[in-house]
Amino acid sequence: MTHILTKNKLLRDDRMIDYETAAVIAYFHAERCPSWSKEQHWKCCSGVTRSWVRIPVAPPYIVNKRALGCNASGHFCYNESQGNGERLRPHPNPLPQERELDALVLEVIMQYSNVYEAFMGLAPKQIPHWEHWSCPDAETYLSGIDYYEHPKLCREKIAELYPQIRLWIPKTDDPKPMPKLGREESSSADETGGHHVRWGDGETTHWDWGNKFKTAEDVFAFSPLENADFTESGIVDAQDFTSEEIIYRRYRAWFPSEWGDRAPEGSTADVSFYNTMFMWPMLTFGWELFLECCLDERFERVMDEFAEINRRLFKAFARLPVNFVICHDDIVNTRGPVCSPNWMHKYIFPRYEEYWSILKAAGKRVVFMADGCLDAYVDDVMACGASGFVTEPYTDFKAIARKYENCVLAGEGDVRILMRNNPAEIKAMVENMVETAKINGGYFMCIGNHIPWNTPPEAIKLYLELSKELGVRESS
């Protein structure tokens, strides 16, 4: 895949590499110094910097014929084809140290990441991870650095030791307050009677979705379109949905301006939305009122208006420079469907098909995410245009893997096994996951029902190490 370097930065998946580092990568990983040690490959005195450059990424890289690089004398150069071979030729305008590099363009051909290959169903040799993570104690244990005292240093060490879990790194190393709830007391009640439980390095709020609606008549009187600015609603993904343009501008600010409306080839850039359709009435009205009203014919108008809000959103998503869209909707629980197939085929699945066709026409791939047991609706979701699932171990992953070749699959790992902290049981779980991965090219190692704050750190470490050791496909 080709990565374009402009304005001193090379965009590579979720990381930024400075120009000097990129130039060193482009030259010294072009197999022109095969006798060099790893440390020599990692260090070079570049012609545009007075300091040594440490490369934070590993080979392999090769240089495009037009790529700019740095030769052994520290001058920039480019490759020029000469018959069947190539030779380095000094750049006609060697660059002094002080000159800005904004106008330069560096094209580097890189191997796809294993995450991208899994998204595309290409069966990467090392099976990647997609983890739902909120266990600070495990981070302290894995890194040897206290998560609360040094959150940035801790995450940086995790990124070095366990890059496969791809945890977000905070911008500062300011200490975090210790959570009030812990192993001695993991839940509490507030002055209003609201229930709170420990979550990650904090705690949850009380489940109060729909508290503004008291009766079914309140639900039927509500117009989502007349109240399309949900910023103060308190729902998940509370935003202003008044127009497609407002939605687009908000999300577009997350991505580099130079990408335009297309993500770089091979990029894992994605965007996600929590309320693909089913979650809208559940979060807005609460479970009880939603289920009380959902069979009433008057509910159809309400759902039509929610559908129009999402029509705006997915049209905006189609314009974003992303390759993947993660669509979440908890349409099932651990026992299976919440609403009947007839209701789903009236209100939910036709909207999925409409929205995802918009995304697919723009070159995006859709991954569907839901908690619970999805077995009853797997075929329906795939028929709507999904490329796979992120779900929980209550779902039959092997059945999906056999039926839908190389679809995205994540979530087969079970945290209940980690909680028991039995090494033999953890190894058996990982072996079972790898078995599924070997019949499906889009598989991710993933503890589908979450890695919460009280998961034994030793169990997590063993899971990660076994996944790295055993989660390897044989070369074809």
Predicted pLDDT at 197: 84
| Residue 37, pLDDT above cutoff 70 | no
Q: Tens digit of pLDDT for each residue in 305-345?
A: 999 999 999 999 999 999 999 999 999 999 999 999 999 99
Confidence of residue 32 (pLDDT cuts 50, 70, 90): very low
Single pTM value for the model: 0.78
Task: Please state the domain count of the chain.
Answer: 2
Predicted pLDDT at 112: 57
Predicted pLDDT at 277: 97
Q: Are residues 340 and 403 in the same domain?
A: yes
Q: Are residues 300 and 392 in the same domain?
A: yes
Confidence of residue 426 (pLDDT cuts 50, 70, 90): very high
Q: Are residues 174 and 85 in the same domain?
A: no
Q: Which has the higher per-residue pLDDT, 25 or 472?
A: 472
| In contact, 390 and 413? CB cutoff 8 Å | no
Q: Where among 95, 111, 127 does a domain terminate?
A: 111
User: Does residue 363 lie within any of the structural domains?
Assistant: yes
Predicted pLDDT at 15: 36
Q: Are residues 262 and 379 in the same domain?
A: yes
User: Does residue 352 lie within any of the structural domains?
Assistant: yes
User: Does residue 122 lie within any of the structural domains?
Assistant: no
What is the DSSP secondary structure assignment for residue 29, as one 8-state letter?
A: T
| Residue 346, pLDDT above cutoff 70 | yes
Structure tokens at 359: 């995304």
Q: Are residues 215 and 288 in the same domain?
A: yes
Mean pLDDT of the chain: 80
User: Does residue 128 lie within any of the structural domains?
Assistant: no
Q: Are residues 142 and 85 in the same domain?
A: no
Q: Tens digit of pLDDT for each residue in 188-239?
A: 787 777 777 888 888 877 677 788 999 999 999 999 999 999 998 888 889 9
| Residue 166, pLDDT above cutoff 50 | yes
Structure tokens at 132: 């739902």
Q: Which of 62, 72, 71 is nearest to 26 (CA)?
A: 62
Q: Are residues 149 and 83 in the same domain?
A: no
Q: End-to-end alpha-carbon separation of the chain, Å?
A: 21
Predicted pLDDT at 21: 41
Q: Are residues 168 and 104 in the same domain?
A: no
From the number of C-beta atoms within 10 Å of its C-beta (0-12, 13-18, 19+), residue 118 rates as buried
Q: Are residues 105 and 145 in the same domain?
A: no
Confidence of residue 294 (pLDDT cuts 50, 70, 90): very high
Measure the CA dihedral 83/84/90/93, to 10°. Answer: 60
Per mean pLDDT, which range of 115-129, 201-215, 254-268, 395-409 is the poorest?
A: 201-215
Q: Where among 76, 111, 146 does a domain terminate?
A: 111
Q: Where among 111, 146, 170 does a domain terminate?
A: 111
| Residue 288, pLDDT above cutoff 50 | yes
User: Does residue 475 lie within any of the structural domains?
Assistant: no
| Residue 465, pLDDT above cutoff 90 | yes
CATH of the domain at 363: 3.20.20.210
Q: Which has the higher per-residue pLDDT, 94 or 292?
A: 292
- In the chain, the percentage of residues whose pLDDT exceeds 70 is 76
User: Does residue 17 lie within any of the structural domains?
Assistant: yes
Q: Which of 187, 200, 41, 199 is nearest to 136 (CA)?
A: 200
Asked if the peptide bond before residue 452 counts as cis, ω within 30 degrees of 0, the response is no
Q: Are residues 183 and 44 in the same domain?
A: no
CA distance 403 to 417: 27
Q: Are residues 417 and 299 in the same domain?
A: yes
| Residue 63, pLDDT above cutoff 80 | no
CA distance 374 to 403: 14
Winning range, highest mean pLDDT, from 49-63, 161-175, 237-251: 237-251
User: Does residue 476 lie within any of the structural domains?
Assistant: no
Residue 11 sits in which domain range?
A: 2-111
| Residue 72, pLDDT above cutoff 60 | no
Q: Are residues 180 and 270 in the same domain?
A: yes
User: Does residue 116 lie within any of the structural domains?
Assistant: no
Amino acid identity, position 2: T
